[in-house]
Amino acid sequence: MVEKKVTVEELLEKARLPAKKAVKWHPFYRGKVEVMPKCAITSFDDFGVWYTPGVAEPCREIHKDPDKVYEHTNKWNYVAVASDGTRVLGLGDIGPLAGLPVMEGKALLFKYLGGVDAFPIMIDTKDADEFIQAVKWIAPTFGGINLEDISSPKCFYILERLREELDIPVWHDDQQGTAAITLAGIINGLKIVGKKLNEVIFSIIGVGAANVCLIRTLIKAGVPPQNIIAVDSKGILHPNRPDIEELKSKNPYKYEIAMKTNGEGRTGGIAEAIKGADVCVAASKPGPGVIKKEWVAEMADDAIMFAEANPIPEIWPWEAKEAGVRIFGTGRSDFPNQVNNSLGFPGIFRGALDVRAKTITDEMHITAAYAIAKVAEEKGLHENYIVPTMDDWEVFPREAVDVAMKAIEQGVARIKPSRQELWDNAMRIIKTARDKLQFLMKHGLIPEPPPVQ
């Protein structure tokens, strides 16, 4: 638990340290990922095998049987991290060039945590249909597509279209990734407080990419829609809001939420949405003060709250605790119970790729949420530990196997390895990725970063 004696200035200084390092380390390495050979090169004669003339024979094999592309090439492990740079972190619409460091970082996490070969792909258009077409054009190279940092509401449209029109997994981490980790935290938080998922009242603050998907995920996981109260910048969503017809045309995703949630017919703002709620999930704007302490005091006993805005959560942890919240999580690594997407996408894609899945269904990312929750439960749940950290490395192969098995069960897998085969494969690939990096660092091929004052 964060002690109240920590000052805001100290927290902000700590939060600024990664930025100080970033402006020195990024130009030092001139990027975070590179392409390296994975095949043996024993002499220059080998290039006749890996390239012309020998490569023509694999081409013929693939032409006769397209599925052989997964055997002759690295398509089985390639993922495109595709973005238009219109909603980058908390920076907003900074464009494709300025968004590139984020996508490189995502590629780095994919490789180190999941053994996935991911490539940053910045697409220079703000038009949703052009973006979709660009992704479809490059899709033959990849085994999966990770959409990233795309503004709302077009991110929903892009994801829907690409999921329908491509035969490889398409995932939007700001939607499905955040939803999976948040659900994992909710599952374990409810275990601690002794409440059931299908009985509690949810207050959802902010109706952007993360929470639109979370609401859909909660409903598919068994939460009755009427038990969810969602509030955006204009207030609680309900069928009689003055802007409901405008929402129907401009943001059909919010419109759908307004029509099927909020069984009590609540109106008002955050204060009214939170009152009596068992679980509150905020993914709105940086605080503090977005959610007030006196509002939180009106939540149900043994309440759970996730305030996920960065760099400062909507309310400070100690304020929420003083107001009666029993379990509190944020998006920050220096507070307990971090909702960290990096716990999800590397393992989820590992599992999807390992069965050559045609899609990532909602059920697959819900399965991942339960796998993530189970790892933390086995280590010992308590109020300040309800989700694993990235140090809990076993979370990645565990969720990979469960996601792959769910894909097989749902009929979206091209191949059907056994559970043991999936486990052995995931462990080998992830361990190899980490061992290669450690080897390069140990031998000075990747130098130590410069010191930062």
- Looking at the domain assignment, is residue 375 inside a domain? no
- Looking at the domain assignment, is residue 268 inside a domain? yes
Answer yes or no: do 219 and 262 share one domain.
Answer: yes
Helices (DSSP H) in 34-126: which residue ranges?
47-50, 56-64, 69-72, 95-114
Answer yes or no: do 126 and 205 share one domain.
Answer: no
Last residue of a domain, one of 276, 300, 330: 330
User: Which entry of 24, 51, 196, 250 is annotated as an active-site residue?
Assistant: 51
pTM to 2 decimals?
0.94
Answer yes or no: do 163 and 185 share one domain.
Answer: no
Q: What is the CATH number of the domain that holds 112?
A: 3.40.50.10380
- Looking at the domain assignment, is residue 324 inside a domain? yes
Residue 262's domain spans which residues?
181-330
Answer yes or no: do 200 and 80 share one domain.
Answer: no
Distance, in Å, from the CA atom of 56 to the CA atom of 280, rounded to the nearest integer, reads: 58
H-helix or E-strand containing 22? helix 8-29
| Backbone phi, psi, residue 131, to 5° | -60, -45
Distance, in Å, from the CA atom of 435 to the CA atom of 112, rounded to the nearest integer, reads: 9
Catalytic residue flag (residue 106): yes
Tokens coding 309 = 């805005």
Task: Count how many domains the chain has.
Answer: 2
Distance, in Å, from the CA atom of 183 to the CA atom of 376, rounded to the nearest integer, reads: 13
- Looking at the domain assignment, is residue 389 inside a domain? no
- Looking at the domain assignment, is residue 444 inside a domain? no
Answer yes or no: do 140 and 242 share one domain.
Answer: no
Answer yes or no: do 89 and 186 share one domain.
Answer: no
What is the distance, to the nearest Å, from the Cα of residue 1 to the centroid of all Cα atoms in its chain? 25
Between the CA of residue 260 and those of 237, 255, 272, 360, what are the distances in Å?
Answer: 10, 9, 18, 25
Distance, in Å, from the CA atom of 374 to the CA atom of 187, rounded to the nearest integer, reads: 9
Instruction: Tell which residue, 226, 153, 173, has the closest CA to residue 342.
Output: 173
Catalytic residue flag (residue 112): no
Answer yes or no: do 164 and 189 share one domain.
Answer: no
Last residue of a domain, one of 296, 330, 364: 330
- Looking at the domain assignment, is residue 433 inside a domain? no
User: Which entry of 75, 106, 154, 374 is annotated as an active-site residue?
Assistant: 106
Last residue of a domain, one of 99, 134, 168: 168
Q: List the pLDDT tens digit at each of the 453 positions of the chain.
A: 444 456 667 766 776 788 889 999 999 999 999 999 999 999 999 999 999 999 999 999 999 999 999 999 999 999 999 999 999 987 889 999 999 999 999 999 999 999 999 999 999 999 999 999 999 999 999 999 999 999 989 999 999 999 999 999 999 999 999 999 999 999 999 999 999 999 999 999 999 989 999 999 999 999 999 999 999 999 999 999 999 999 999 999 999 999 999 999 999 999 999 999 999 999 998 888 999 999 999 999 999 999 999 878 999 999 999 999 999 999 988 889 999 999 999 999 999 999 999 999 999 999 999 999 999 999 999 999 999 998 999 999 999 999 999 999 999 999 999 999 999 999 999 999 999 999 999 999 999 999 987
Answer yes or no: do 144 and 99 share one domain.
Answer: yes
| Backbone phi, psi, residue 408, to 5° | -65, -45
- Looking at the domain assignment, is residue 4 inside a domain? no
Q: Show the CA angle centred on residue 87, arms to residues 85 and 91, nearest 5°.
A: 100
Answer yes or no: do 212 and 141 share one domain.
Answer: no
- Looking at the domain assignment, is residue 373 inside a domain? no
346 close to 353: Cβ distance less than 8 angstroms: no
Q: What is the CATH number of the domain that holds 214?
A: 3.40.50.720
